[in-house]
Amino acid sequence: MFGPRTLRSFESLGWLRGPKPWILAFGSVAVASIGALGSIGCATAAPPSFPSPEVHSVEERRPISAGESYTSAVEFRKFLVKLPDDHVIGALQIGKECNGREPLTWKIGRDSTVTQDFGALLLEEVAAAGYGVIGHGDVLFEDAHEKKADYVVAGVIRDVRANVCYATPKTNLATAEASLAIDWQIYSYRSREVAFKVTTEGSSLLLRPQPEPGADAISRAVVAASRNLLADPHFHELLTGNGVDRNPQPRPPIAIAYETAPKKPSKSAETVVADSRMAVVTVFAGDSMGSGFLISRDGYLLTDEHVVGPSRYVRVKFVTGREVNGEVVRADRKRDVALVKLEGDVYPYLQLGESSRVQPGADVFAIGTPLEEMFGQTVTKGIVSGYGEEDGQRILRSDVNIQKGNSGGPLLDRSGAVVGLSVNAYTLLPDGIGIGLNGFIPIEEALHALTIQREAPEAAPPAAAPSPGGLSR
């Protein structure tokens, strides 16, 4: 059930040996070992007995495979333990009858975070079932522009029970049994709330004597509980997209007075695209930097979800050097789009077009902040290469040059209308050389994913000074 890599990780972290010769430590559990009871065999009086708690025997169900369908990606956050310090979880047993002699005590404070090794075991099972997994313990640096998880898993471990039996004390080999329950919570980045809750149990029985089996028994119980989570049909439906988040309320539409572009531009493409730079911003969210663009004069802005990440507030910088604060009001992790509302003012904005109107070979322009802040509002030109699908989502492809930092910036047609948002660039590893094949989110799908509804023209505020592209400022 456990490969050599997993067991070696336990040993390297000191899971199997504590600071004293008579202490066995596995994970966050410390128990008295047979070394402390070495005088039992020569004692003249009968040794005291300690009741051995009943370890639950739990059926381990077969995980539901992801199959051939696209699945949402998952990352692990943490495990918490709902046990007080010095809580007795079982008994140290002696003799062929496995009679209890000493208590096994949980040595960890209430609600303390358990080591990430349990999380690694969970992710191994999730990946083995064919689901997408984000995050790896060997990665030192996270790339803010890479694809992120759709869901994050966390759990509360409770009702831990374990017994360790030294049937032949002289050999220092023991068998073990363990059981536990995990209260799971699956958080949705799309809805920004818990999408699914369930409790599963797991147990293990190690009949072959081995040195210090306690860590293995509890770890196997964690794996069994993880597999029972993967066997839950609601979990499968959530990750494969056949189900929906169970807890969130339907999102009401957001009415925005955006404008659509005329089919025949009144200015040259060069003039319109140059003017469009006024409505494109550099977005700063935590340690992340990306691009975005205004779609209404009252300050609604579109960008990629992976640019804003978990941040609620962002800072944006215009080509003029002006900086403004904004709040993330809605995001869709799966479609990788986010809507930001800037503080009250009148802003330049871009008109929106239709991605289906630009055919392969048509000229397009990308505006954004590639690589560094100093390159803000850089314009690059290319052609539409075609259309396709990635991770179950429609994508527009172009050879227009974009780099890290362009994410969330607009892709414009010759009229200056937005037809897509920059989202990814294919590169050759390990040097990261671009190959002229880049992906853009069609503007219609961005509006749909965020449930943006166009406000009626009569409700829109009057324009101060009309100009193509809505660039009145």
Summarize pLDDT for 95-147 with one digit per residue, the tens. 888 888 888 887 654 445 566 788 889 999 999 998 888 865 444 444 444 55
SS3 label, residue 130? coil
Lowest mean pLDDT among 43-52, 187-196, 217-226, 333-342: 43-52
> Is residue 117 within a helix (H) or strand (E), and if so which, with residue range?
helix 117-128
pLDDT surpassing 80 at residue 427: no
- How many whole angstroms separate alpha carbon 217 and alpha carbon 204? 6
- Is 0.85 surpassed by the pTM of this model? no
- 365 Cβ contact partners less than 8 Å away, ≥ 6 residues apart: 269, 273, 276, 379, 380, 381, 382, 400, 411, 412
Q: Which range scores top for mean pLDDT: 22-31, 142-151, 168-177, 318-327? A: 318-327
Structural domain boundaries in the chain: 4-240, 254-470
Whether the per-residue pLDDT at 61 is higher than 70: the answer is yes
Average pLDDT score, the chain: 78
Q: What is the dihedral of CA 138, 141, 142, 146, to 10 degrees?
A: -90
Closest CA relative to residue 316, chosen from 344, 293, 338, 333: 293
pLDDT surpasses 50 at 44:
no
- Which of the listed CATH numbers 3.40.50.1000, 3.30.1600.10, 2.60.40.10, 2.40.10.120 matches domain 254-470? 2.40.10.120
Least confident of 107-121, 272-286, 311-325, 416-430: 107-121
